[in-house]
Amino acid sequence: MEVKQVTNEDQLKYFYQMRYKVFIEGQKNAPKDLFPDGLFKDDEDDYAFHLGCYEGATLLGGVSVVIKNTPEAINRKFNEVEREPFNIVCEKESAAIKILMVIDENVGNDIFIRGRVLENLFVAVNELIVAHNVKYSYLIAVENTKGLYEKIGYTQIGDFRLYKGMFWTCPMKLTIENGRPPNPTIRDL
């Protein structure tokens, strides 16, 4: 199992298709009409680091990270799903963690493998955070993932809100102390 940055155009298209399949078709986390091309992608993705966890050539999961280290990056808004309910503004030296996914059809129901995928993705995110001197990390959690993020050290910074009558989300923040974010292990997840 290996995490690498997804930069190839065909691999990025597949990455966005898998996001769509997991979050829009599978979990119904946003209306399909927001993404008519079947790609769960927004303008902020053009500036994000896309990290994929692979077993050989098979994508098992992924996450995107937007480093907010320039005025342009700070002024870019969260994607449509995240922006509307919260209007979060990230500070300089922060990161927006976007759309963490595990691809069920490629991983199966093995909870150990799912945990390893998540652990490997979090380690890679932490390496990016350290490399870019990030002091705060933000994300939007849905109800069933809030506890996972709390175990890592995130705190809820706003109320749960219903997005388009479909699902409840809340904003969360992690303050990185001593330049080193927590490194969760499978047992933590």
Q: What is the CATH number of the domain that holds 80?
A: 3.40.630.30
* Contact criterion met (CB below 8 Å) for 173 and 99: no
Q: Tell me the residue range of the domain where 161 lies.
A: 2-175
pTM for the model stands at 0.84
Q: What is the pLDDT of residue 3?
A: 97
Q: Give, for 19, the enclosing helix (H) or strand (E).
A: helix 9-19
Residue 58, in any domain of the structure: yes
Euclidean distance between the first and the last CA atom of the chain, given in angstroms as a whole number: 17
* pLDDT greater than 80 at residue 184: no
Q: What is the pLDDT of residue 12?
A: 96
What's the total number of domains in the chain? 1
Q: What is the pLDDT of residue 109?
A: 86
Residue 164, in any domain of the structure: yes
Residue 170, in any domain of the structure: yes
CA distance 57 to 48: 22
Two structure tokens written together for 105? 């059809």
Calculate ∠ Cα 44-50-51, nearest 5°.
155
Residue 188, in any domain of the structure: no
Residue 181, in any domain of the structure: no
Residue 182, in any domain of the structure: no
Mean pLDDT on 2-21: 96
